[in-house]
Chains A and B, each alone.
Chain A
Protein backbone atom coordinates (compact mmCIF):
# COMPACT_ATOMS: atom_id res chain seq x y z
CA UNK A 1 0.00 0.00 0.00
CA UNK A 2 0.96 3.60 -0.28
CA UNK A 3 2.20 5.40 2.86
CA UNK A 4 1.94 8.77 1.12
CA UNK A 5 -1.78 8.22 0.55
CA UNK A 6 -2.19 7.55 4.29
CA UNK A 7 -0.47 10.79 5.26
CA UNK A 8 -2.52 12.63 2.64
CA UNK A 9 -5.77 11.14 3.95
CA UNK A 10 -5.01 12.26 7.45
CA UNK A 11 -4.18 15.80 6.28
CA UNK A 12 -7.32 16.11 4.14
CA UNK A 13 -9.55 14.66 6.88
CA UNK A 14 -8.09 17.14 9.40
CA UNK A 15 -8.80 20.05 7.03
CA UNK A 16 -12.34 18.74 6.45
CA UNK A 17 -12.88 18.41 10.20
CA UNK A 18 -11.63 21.96 10.77
CA UNK A 19 -13.89 23.38 8.03
CA UNK A 20 -17.00 21.56 9.30
CA UNK A 21 -16.32 22.49 12.93
CA UNK A 22 -15.60 26.13 12.09
CA UNK A 23 -18.67 26.54 9.86
CA UNK A 24 -21.03 24.85 12.32
CA UNK A 25 -19.44 26.71 15.26
CA UNK A 26 -20.01 30.02 13.50
CA UNK A 27 -23.64 29.10 12.75
CA UNK A 28 -24.28 28.03 16.34
CA UNK A 29 -22.68 31.21 17.72
CA UNK A 30 -25.00 33.20 15.47
CA UNK A 31 -27.97 31.07 16.49
CA UNK A 32 -27.35 31.58 20.23
CA UNK A 33 -26.99 35.34 19.92
CA UNK A 34 -23.22 35.79 19.98
CA UNK A 35 -23.63 38.42 17.25
CA UNK A 36 -26.71 39.96 18.83
CA UNK A 37 -30.26 38.74 19.44
CA UNK A 38 -31.58 40.56 16.38
CA UNK A 39 -29.12 38.73 14.16
CA UNK A 40 -30.21 35.38 15.63
CA UNK A 41 -33.88 36.08 14.87
CA UNK A 42 -33.23 36.91 11.22
CA UNK A 43 -33.90 34.15 8.67
CA UNK A 44 -30.93 32.11 7.48
CA UNK A 45 -31.52 33.33 3.94
CA UNK A 46 -32.28 37.05 4.27
CA UNK A 47 -34.14 39.03 1.59
CA UNK A 48 -30.94 41.06 1.15
CA UNK A 49 -28.99 37.90 0.26
CA UNK A 50 -31.69 36.78 -2.17
CA UNK A 51 -31.70 40.25 -3.77
CA UNK A 52 -27.93 40.17 -4.17
CA UNK A 53 -28.02 36.75 -5.85
CA UNK A 54 -30.91 37.87 -8.04
CA UNK A 55 -29.13 41.03 -9.21
CA UNK A 56 -25.90 39.15 -9.94
CA UNK A 57 -27.29 35.85 -11.11
CA UNK A 58 -25.23 35.98 -14.32
CA UNK A 59 -21.78 35.54 -12.79
CA UNK A 60 -22.88 34.28 -9.36
CA UNK A 61 -24.22 30.91 -10.49
CA UNK A 62 -21.41 30.53 -12.99
CA UNK A 63 -18.91 30.99 -10.14
CA UNK A 64 -20.78 28.50 -7.93
CA UNK A 65 -20.86 25.91 -10.73
CA UNK A 66 -17.15 26.44 -11.47
CA UNK A 67 -16.22 26.09 -7.79
CA UNK A 68 -18.28 22.88 -7.55
CA UNK A 69 -16.56 21.42 -10.62
CA UNK A 70 -13.09 22.27 -9.28
CA UNK A 71 -13.91 20.70 -5.89
CA UNK A 72 -15.33 17.63 -7.63
CA UNK A 73 -12.15 17.20 -9.70
CA UNK A 74 -9.94 17.57 -6.62
CA UNK A 75 -12.05 14.91 -4.88
CA UNK A 76 -11.73 12.64 -7.93
CA UNK A 77 -7.95 12.97 -7.76
CA UNK A 78 -8.05 12.19 -4.03
CA UNK A 79 -10.19 9.13 -4.75
CA UNK A 80 -7.74 7.88 -7.40
CA UNK A 81 -4.80 8.07 -4.97
CA UNK A 82 -6.61 5.47 -2.81
CA UNK A 83 -6.38 2.80 -5.49
CA UNK A 84 -3.14 1.40 -6.73
CA UNK A 85 0.35 1.87 -5.45
CA UNK A 86 3.02 4.02 -6.99
CA UNK A 87 5.38 1.12 -7.44
CA UNK A 88 8.15 1.69 -9.99
CA UNK A 89 8.59 -1.13 -12.56
CA UNK A 90 11.19 0.29 -14.92
CA UNK A 91 14.16 2.47 -13.99
CA UNK A 92 15.66 4.77 -16.60
CA UNK A 93 19.45 4.47 -16.38
CA UNK A 94 20.45 7.10 -18.95
CA UNK A 95 19.63 10.66 -18.00
CA UNK A 96 19.90 11.69 -21.66
CA UNK A 97 17.35 9.84 -23.80
CA UNK A 98 18.27 11.48 -27.15
CA UNK A 99 20.70 8.68 -27.99
CA UNK A 100 18.29 5.94 -27.05
CA UNK A 101 17.35 4.83 -23.59
CA UNK A 102 18.50 2.12 -21.21
CA UNK A 103 16.13 0.89 -18.57
CA UNK A 104 16.50 -1.55 -15.75
CA UNK A 105 13.59 -3.72 -14.68
CA UNK A 106 12.92 -2.91 -11.04
CA UNK A 107 12.44 -6.62 -10.39
CA UNK A 108 16.06 -7.36 -11.37
CA UNK A 109 17.33 -4.86 -8.81
CA UNK A 110 15.01 -5.98 -6.01
CA UNK A 111 15.80 -9.67 -6.60
CA UNK A 112 19.52 -8.95 -6.51
CA UNK A 113 19.36 -6.89 -3.33
CA UNK A 114 17.09 -9.32 -1.45
CA UNK A 115 19.24 -12.26 -2.56
CA UNK A 116 22.33 -10.58 -1.22
CA UNK A 117 20.71 -9.67 2.10
CA UNK A 118 19.20 -13.15 2.55
CA UNK A 119 22.68 -14.67 2.17
CA UNK A 120 23.82 -12.88 5.35
CA UNK A 121 23.98 -14.91 8.52
CA UNK A 122 21.13 -13.89 10.84
CA UNK A 123 18.70 -12.83 8.11
CA UNK A 124 15.50 -14.85 7.87
CA UNK A 125 13.82 -13.13 4.94
CA UNK A 126 14.10 -9.96 2.88
CA UNK A 127 11.69 -8.10 0.58
CA UNK A 128 12.34 -5.04 -1.56
CA UNK A 129 10.36 -2.68 -3.75
CA UNK A 130 10.88 0.64 -5.50
CA UNK A 131 8.28 3.34 -4.99
CA UNK A 132 7.32 6.82 -6.15
CA UNK A 133 9.00 8.61 -9.05
CA UNK A 134 10.84 6.36 -11.61
CA UNK A 135 13.52 9.06 -12.03
CA UNK A 136 13.96 9.49 -8.30
CA UNK A 137 12.69 6.26 -6.71
CA UNK A 138 12.86 5.24 -3.07
CA UNK A 139 14.05 1.74 -2.22
CA UNK A 140 11.92 0.13 0.47
CA UNK A 141 13.56 -2.83 2.20
CA UNK A 142 11.87 -5.04 4.74
CA UNK A 143 14.18 -7.51 6.45
CA UNK A 144 13.27 -10.11 9.05
CA UNK A 145 16.30 -10.71 11.26
CA UNK A 146 17.04 -13.18 13.99
CA UNK A 147 16.71 -11.06 17.11
CA UNK A 148 19.62 -12.87 18.80
CA UNK A 149 22.04 -12.01 16.01
CA UNK A 150 24.50 -9.11 16.35
CA UNK A 151 22.08 -6.52 15.02
CA UNK A 152 24.57 -3.66 14.85
CA UNK A 153 26.96 -5.70 12.69
CA UNK A 154 24.13 -7.08 10.56
CA UNK A 155 22.69 -3.66 9.93
CA UNK A 156 26.10 -2.27 9.07
CA UNK A 157 26.59 -5.08 6.56
CA UNK A 158 23.18 -4.47 4.96
CA UNK A 159 23.77 -0.74 4.66
CA UNK A 160 27.41 -0.77 3.64
CA UNK A 161 27.30 -3.75 1.30
CA UNK A 162 23.84 -4.64 -0.08
CA UNK A 163 22.50 -1.07 -0.18
CA UNK A 164 25.80 0.26 -1.52
CA UNK A 165 25.68 -2.33 -4.31
CA UNK A 166 22.08 -1.42 -5.16
CA UNK A 167 23.09 2.24 -5.33
CA UNK A 168 25.97 1.40 -7.66
CA UNK A 169 23.59 -0.57 -9.91
CA UNK A 170 21.20 2.33 -10.39
CA UNK A 171 24.09 4.81 -10.52
CA UNK A 172 22.75 6.94 -7.71
CA UNK A 173 24.81 7.25 -4.54
CA UNK A 174 22.00 9.12 -2.84
CA UNK A 175 19.21 6.62 -3.63
CA UNK A 176 16.94 7.09 -0.60
CA UNK A 177 16.41 3.83 1.27
CA UNK A 178 13.88 2.93 3.92
CA UNK A 179 15.15 -0.10 5.81
CA UNK A 180 12.67 -1.80 8.08
CA UNK A 181 14.05 -4.49 10.37
CA UNK A 182 11.57 -6.95 11.82
CA UNK A 183 12.85 -8.84 14.81
CA UNK A 184 12.02 -12.50 14.45
CA UNK A 185 12.73 -15.44 16.75
CA UNK A 186 15.94 -17.31 16.00
CA UNK A 187 15.69 -20.73 14.33
CA UNK A 188 17.03 -22.46 17.45
CA UNK A 189 13.96 -21.40 19.40
CA UNK A 190 11.62 -23.05 16.95
CA UNK A 191 13.20 -26.42 17.60
CA UNK A 192 12.50 -26.27 21.28
Chain B
Protein backbone atom coordinates (compact mmCIF):
# COMPACT_ATOMS: atom_id res chain seq x y z
CA UNK B 1 0.00 0.00 0.00
CA UNK B 2 1.42 3.34 -1.01
CA UNK B 3 2.13 6.09 1.49
CA UNK B 4 -0.70 8.37 0.43
CA UNK B 5 -3.28 5.63 0.80
CA UNK B 6 -2.05 4.92 4.30
CA UNK B 7 -2.29 8.64 5.15
CA UNK B 8 -5.81 8.69 3.71
CA UNK B 9 -6.81 5.71 5.79
CA UNK B 10 -5.56 7.48 8.92
CA UNK B 11 -7.37 10.68 7.95
CA UNK B 12 -10.52 8.65 7.27
CA UNK B 13 -10.37 7.02 10.70
CA UNK B 14 -9.81 10.39 12.44
CA UNK B 15 -12.57 12.17 10.50
CA UNK B 16 -15.01 9.30 11.02
CA UNK B 17 -14.31 9.23 14.77
CA UNK B 18 -14.83 13.01 14.96
CA UNK B 19 -18.18 12.81 13.16
CA UNK B 20 -19.28 9.85 15.30
CA UNK B 21 -18.44 11.91 18.41
CA UNK B 22 -20.57 14.77 17.07
CA UNK B 23 -23.38 12.33 16.30
CA UNK B 24 -23.38 11.14 19.91
CA UNK B 25 -22.67 14.41 21.76
CA UNK B 26 -25.20 16.64 20.03
CA UNK B 27 -28.28 14.49 20.80
CA UNK B 28 -27.02 13.99 24.37
CA UNK B 29 -26.64 17.73 24.91
CA UNK B 30 -30.05 18.42 23.34
CA UNK B 31 -31.75 15.93 25.66
CA UNK B 32 -29.91 17.36 28.69
CA UNK B 33 -30.90 20.91 27.75
CA UNK B 34 -34.53 19.83 27.28
CA UNK B 35 -34.45 18.41 30.80
CA UNK B 36 -33.04 21.70 32.09
CA UNK B 37 -29.65 20.24 32.95
CA UNK B 38 -26.30 22.01 32.32
CA UNK B 39 -24.00 20.94 29.48
CA UNK B 40 -22.05 17.68 29.60
CA UNK B 41 -19.00 17.97 27.28
CA UNK B 42 -19.93 20.73 24.83
CA UNK B 43 -20.09 24.10 26.67
CA UNK B 44 -22.93 25.37 24.47
CA UNK B 45 -23.98 28.08 26.96
CA UNK B 46 -20.59 29.79 26.58
CA UNK B 47 -20.62 29.28 22.80
CA UNK B 48 -24.06 30.86 22.48
CA UNK B 49 -22.95 33.85 24.56
CA UNK B 50 -19.72 34.26 22.54
CA UNK B 51 -21.48 34.02 19.19
CA UNK B 52 -24.15 36.53 20.31
CA UNK B 53 -21.50 39.00 21.49
CA UNK B 54 -18.97 38.65 18.65
CA UNK B 55 -19.57 40.04 15.17
CA UNK B 56 -18.37 38.37 11.98
CA UNK B 57 -15.42 40.81 12.05
CA UNK B 58 -14.23 39.71 15.50
CA UNK B 59 -10.69 38.30 15.72
CA UNK B 60 -11.56 34.89 17.21
CA UNK B 61 -14.34 34.35 14.66
CA UNK B 62 -11.93 35.10 11.81
CA UNK B 63 -9.26 32.88 13.35
CA UNK B 64 -11.68 29.95 13.42
CA UNK B 65 -12.79 30.64 9.83
CA UNK B 66 -9.19 30.83 8.58
CA UNK B 67 -8.32 27.58 10.36
CA UNK B 68 -11.30 25.77 8.85
CA UNK B 69 -10.49 27.15 5.39
CA UNK B 70 -6.86 26.02 5.76
CA UNK B 71 -7.89 22.49 6.76
CA UNK B 72 -10.36 22.30 3.85
CA UNK B 73 -7.83 23.57 1.31
CA UNK B 74 -5.16 21.22 2.63
CA UNK B 75 -7.53 18.27 2.24
CA UNK B 76 -8.43 19.33 -1.31
CA UNK B 77 -4.79 19.89 -2.23
CA UNK B 78 -3.59 16.52 -0.96
CA UNK B 79 -6.49 14.63 -2.55
CA UNK B 80 -6.57 16.39 -5.92
CA UNK B 81 -2.83 16.62 -6.52
CA UNK B 82 -2.04 14.29 -9.42
CA UNK B 83 -0.37 11.15 -8.15
CA UNK B 84 1.96 9.00 -10.08
CA UNK B 85 0.06 5.81 -10.80
CA UNK B 86 0.97 2.68 -8.85
CA UNK B 87 -0.22 0.49 -11.71
CA UNK B 88 -0.22 0.96 -15.47
CA UNK B 89 -2.86 -0.73 -17.61
CA UNK B 90 -1.87 -3.19 -20.33
CA UNK B 91 -3.64 -3.31 -23.69
CA UNK B 92 -6.76 -5.49 -23.41
CA UNK B 93 -6.48 -9.04 -24.69
CA UNK B 94 -9.46 -11.05 -23.41
CA UNK B 95 -12.93 -9.87 -22.41
CA UNK B 96 -13.32 -8.94 -18.71
CA UNK B 97 -9.63 -9.29 -17.93
CA UNK B 98 -8.10 -6.02 -16.76
CA UNK B 99 -4.35 -6.55 -16.98
CA UNK B 100 -1.85 -4.17 -15.50
CA UNK B 101 1.70 -3.98 -14.28
CA UNK B 102 3.14 -2.06 -11.36
CA UNK B 103 4.98 1.14 -12.11
CA UNK B 104 7.75 0.14 -9.72
CA UNK B 105 8.42 -3.21 -11.40
CA UNK B 106 8.33 -1.53 -14.80
CA UNK B 107 10.96 0.97 -13.66
CA UNK B 108 13.13 -1.84 -12.39
CA UNK B 109 12.84 -3.88 -15.56
CA UNK B 110 13.74 -0.86 -17.72
CA UNK B 111 16.71 -0.27 -15.46
CA UNK B 112 17.80 -3.89 -15.88
CA UNK B 113 17.25 -3.69 -19.65
CA UNK B 114 19.60 -0.72 -19.84
CA UNK B 115 22.30 -2.36 -17.75
CA UNK B 116 22.14 -5.50 -19.92
CA UNK B 117 23.78 -3.50 -22.72
CA UNK B 118 27.55 -3.98 -22.77
CA UNK B 119 29.33 -0.85 -21.65
CA UNK B 120 26.58 0.36 -19.29
CA UNK B 121 27.65 0.49 -15.65
CA UNK B 122 24.40 1.60 -14.04
CA UNK B 123 21.00 2.94 -14.98
CA UNK B 124 18.02 4.65 -13.41
CA UNK B 125 14.49 4.65 -14.81
CA UNK B 126 11.48 6.80 -13.94
CA UNK B 127 8.09 6.02 -15.39
CA UNK B 128 5.09 8.33 -15.32
CA UNK B 129 1.76 8.20 -17.12
CA UNK B 130 3.11 9.84 -20.25
CA UNK B 131 6.84 9.60 -20.11
CA UNK B 132 9.53 7.06 -19.30
CA UNK B 133 13.03 8.36 -18.68
CA UNK B 134 16.08 6.12 -18.54
CA UNK B 135 19.42 7.56 -17.51
CA UNK B 136 22.37 5.25 -18.02
CA UNK B 137 25.97 5.68 -16.94
CA UNK B 138 28.54 4.28 -19.35
CA UNK B 139 31.76 2.47 -18.48
CA UNK B 140 33.53 4.24 -21.26
CA UNK B 141 34.44 7.89 -21.47
CA UNK B 142 32.89 8.32 -24.92
CA UNK B 143 29.39 6.87 -24.88
CA UNK B 144 28.33 8.16 -28.31
CA UNK B 145 27.52 4.76 -29.78
CA UNK B 146 25.79 3.51 -26.65
CA UNK B 147 22.73 5.75 -26.80
CA UNK B 148 21.24 3.97 -29.79
CA UNK B 149 21.89 0.53 -28.35
CA UNK B 150 20.42 1.34 -24.95
CA UNK B 151 17.39 3.02 -26.53
CA UNK B 152 16.82 0.00 -28.76
CA UNK B 153 17.13 -2.47 -25.91
CA UNK B 154 14.88 -0.51 -23.52
CA UNK B 155 12.31 0.15 -26.24
CA UNK B 156 12.16 -3.55 -27.03
CA UNK B 157 11.52 -4.35 -23.36
CA UNK B 158 8.86 -1.65 -23.10
CA UNK B 159 7.08 -2.69 -26.29
CA UNK B 160 7.12 -6.36 -25.31
CA UNK B 161 4.86 -5.44 -22.43
CA UNK B 162 2.12 -3.90 -24.63
CA UNK B 163 1.01 -1.13 -22.28
CA UNK B 164 -2.44 0.29 -23.03
CA UNK B 165 -0.83 3.68 -23.34
CA UNK B 166 2.85 3.51 -24.09
CA UNK B 167 4.80 6.30 -22.41
CA UNK B 168 7.14 8.35 -24.54
CA UNK B 169 10.64 6.96 -24.04
CA UNK B 170 13.54 9.27 -23.37
CA UNK B 171 17.03 7.82 -22.93
CA UNK B 172 20.16 9.62 -21.82
CA UNK B 173 23.62 8.15 -21.52
CA UNK B 174 26.26 9.85 -19.40
CA UNK B 175 29.94 9.12 -19.56
CA UNK B 176 31.37 7.82 -16.33
CA UNK B 177 32.86 10.67 -14.38
CA UNK B 178 36.62 10.62 -14.76
CA UNK B 179 38.50 10.48 -11.53
* A20–B113 alpha-carbon span in the complex (Å): 49
Residues of A within 8 A of B74 (CB): 17
A72 and B24 contact, Cβ closer than 8 Å, known pairs A44-B56, A152-B160, A155-B93: yes
Which partner residue on chain B sits nearest A70 by CB separation? B23
Residues of B within 8 A of A24 (CB): 65-66, 68-69, 72
B19: interface (CB < 8 Å): yes
Which parts of A99-144 form the interface with B (CB within 8 Å)? none
Where chain B touches its partner, the secondary structure class is helix
Known A75-B16, A152-B162, A155-B93; 20 more pairs at CB < 8 Å: A1-B1, A9-B5, A13-B8, A13-B12, A13-B75, A16-B75, A20-B75, A21-B76, A23-B68, A27-B56, A28-B69, A50-B48, A76-B16, A78-B12, A82-B16, A147-B112, A155-B90, A155-B162, A180-B100, A183-B101
A20 and B102 contact, Cβ closer than 8 Å, known pairs A13-B12, A43-B53, A68-B26: no
Cβ B105 vs Cβ A182 within 8 A: yes
Residues of B within 8 A of A177 (CB): 96-98
Quote the shortest CB–CB distance from B73 to chain A (angstroms).
6
Residues of A within 8 A of B162 (CB): 151-152, 155
Quote the shortest CB–CB distance from B63 to chain A (angstroms).
11
Which partner residue on chain A sits nearest B68 by CB separation? A24
Where chain A touches its partner, the secondary structure class is helix
| A: interface residue count bin | 35 or more
Contact flags (1/0) for B64-106 with A, using CB distance below 8 Å?
Answer: 0110110111111001100000010010011111111110011
B178: interface (CB < 8 Å): no
* A183–B18 alpha-carbon span in the complex (Å): 42
A-B contact list, 16 entries, CB within 8 Å: A9-B8, A14-B80, A21-B76, A31-B62, A40-B55, A44-B56, A68-B23, A68-B27, A72-B24, A76-B16, A79-B13, A82-B9, A159-B93, A159-B94, A177-B97, A183-B106
A160 and B22 contact, Cβ closer than 8 Å, known pairs A14-B76, A19-B72, A40-B57: no
* A153–B27 alpha-carbon span in the complex (Å): 63
Cβ A75 vs Cβ B19 within 8 A: yes
Residues of A within 8 A of B23 (CB): 68-73, 75-76
Residues of A within 8 A of B160 (CB): 150-152
